[in-house]
Structure 1
Amino acid sequence: MPELPEVEVTRRKLLPLAVGRPLFLSHQDPFRYRGTEKAQGEKVLDLRRRGKYLIFALERHELVLHLGMTGGFRREETPHTRAVFRFGDTPLYFTDPRRFGRIWVVDPGDYREIPLLGRMGPEPLSPAFTLEGFLEALRRKTPIKTLLLSQEAVAGLGNIYADEALFQAGLRPDRPAHTLSQAEAERLFAAIREVLEEAVRLGGSTLKDAAYRQPDGEAGAYQERHRVYGRAGRPCPRCGGPILRVRLGGRSAHFCPGCQA
């Protein structure tokens, strides 16, 4: 958290506030927020998303922001405000209780400090995400959920939406990727897009800790559609059997053993 839907919703809410205005950024953490002095006063030309990263295109630089596990923007300062973004006269407060968020100011396209950006897979909501490319990525012996979380087969998926897409496709998270049939791979390919599109439409997922909220303070609503994520021990919405939670590659995975094979 936040994953692709939450970052995309944040991007869409920030876009009209930021683009065309000069950026001023203040903070007291040069270790986590690097090179920000280079961005001061530069006009924001565009705001893109790549996987779970926001990329502010400035006049001479790019500001790359990763929200971490608990990062997000608020209209008002909070006890966990870590940085203040001012777009012209409009302040927005970057809040991050667990301090995993990061900021880099780099020359355009120079992501040597952020190597994941250089090897990230295609955006799942773009034409670059093709069935042919996805089938090629699945030719590994890695568990399918681990592969999805690697960001190399497809960008932006995390625990929530990988679990939900695998449930929709009827696939166990611990299945080796290379064992998926053509039909199973096609189901998963479609499920990834469908789950993410619906999550973006509903504003993302705001969990019990309420760490994620949209920049205008509104909560997401997709958590009300979760069918397996965070539902360990509760009945499967399809078969009524209990949802299981297991550890897989150091991460949790939620699935229905009766509906996912």
Structure 2
Amino acid sequence: MPEGHSVRRLAHQFGDVFTGEALSVSSPQGRFAAGAALLDGHTLTDSRAHGKHLFLHFDHAMVLHVHLGLYGAWDFGGDATFRGASSIGAPRKVGEQELFDDDGDDGDYQGPPEPRGAVRVRLVSAHGWADLRGATTCAVITEAEALAVLARLGPDPLRNLPGDRSRFAAGLQARKTPVAALLMDQKVIAGVGNVYRAEVLFRQQLDPWLPGNALSRGAAELLWDDTAAVMADGVRDGRIITTPAVYWDAGALLPAGEHAHYVYKREGLPCRVCAGPVAVTGLVGRKLYWCPGCQQDAQ
């Protein structure tokens, strides 16, 4: 499932490419025809992300709310003025690195291509287009309903608003649930998924099974700070990289494959710090990658 950095990049891309544009909105698949009709012809005024949720705000106070889930993805294209990724989402399709169209446009842009596959919603401006497929949530809601969704979510490290750090720490310390499970609870912290969960726990040398209420205030706040830092790096890089350059191939500008992570998907391989084998265990329905040698109640 795309994590918070990908959704934040989506919000930036919509802002850069479509904000201020009157959009043609349709549902080639047909399942979103009624919702598309509510937005068709209206101007996109703002695009915001909170955790894994994307909110596209229009000039008549209606909002397109999208949660990509496991299989959702946005595809983009346009004329020579269009800049950005050509696909964001659906990790099983594009991985943690986005896809880009390296061919560019020859100046003869004739509009969007024929829809391919089950396109739930298509947004078209004078200069570009965006197609959504496979999303878990795709709904037109009011501004008040958007605020209600936000009220159910925890703080977003990529927003990092005043009070968010303290709210997160208090949320951890109020629960007996293992910290590795709490990091996946979107009511505790919004935007963290399986990769960031494993990596920040390792970087902070925290036992994944440590109950939240056993975590010191200082350790909880450092966990927030590190999560905010690596997720901000993900927004910048367009992928999750949690290791320093010392672990990359010589001369590489960015790491390839497993070199980008400390423990994620490295089960059985030697830990980069203690050389013991990285373990994998099931927790809250997902695989948890961790180092038994390094992550032993350190806080």
Partners of 1:33 and 1:156 lie apart in 2 by 29
From 120, 137, 142, give the equivalent of 1:107: 142
Contact 2:231 2:240 in 1 (8 A): no
Shift of 1:238: 1.2
Identical columns (%): 30
From 156, 171, 196, give the equivalent of 1:123: 156
Q: CA RMSD in A?
A: 2.7
What is the SS of the residue equivalent to 2:235? helix
Deviation string for 1:31-67 (max 9, x for gaps)?
A: 5787232111110001111111111110111111112
Cα distance 1:163–1:19, how it changes in 2: closer, same or farther (>3 A)? same
Show structure 2 runs of 5+ residues with no match: 78-112, 242-253
Cα distance 1:223–1:85, how it changes in 2: closer, same or farther (>3 A)? farther
Partners of 2:149 and 2:211 lie apart in 1 by 23
Does structure 1 residue 251 correspond to structure 2 residue 286?
yes
Partners of 1:152 and 1:182 lie apart in 2 by 19
Match of 1:93 in 2: 131
Match of 1:176 in 2: 211
Contact 1:204 1:221 in 2 (8 A): no
TM-score by length of 2: 0.73
Contact 2:156 2:191 in 1 (8 A): yes
Match of 1:62 in 2: 63
Does structure 1 residue 134 correspond to structure 2 residue 172?
no
User: Amino acid of the residue matched to residue 87 of structure 1?
Assistant: S
Alignment: residue pair count? 244
Cα distance 1:220–1:118, how it changes in 2: closer, same or farther (>3 A)? farther
Show structure 1 runs of 5+ residues with no match: 207-218
Cα distance 1:130–1:111, how it changes in 2: closer, same or farther (>3 A)? closer
Structure of greater Rg: 2
Contact 2:166 2:221 in 1 (8 A): no
Cα distance 1:38–1:160, how it changes in 2: closer, same or farther (>3 A)? same
Cα distance 1:194–1:130, how it changes in 2: closer, same or farther (>3 A)? same
Shift of 1:148: 1.4
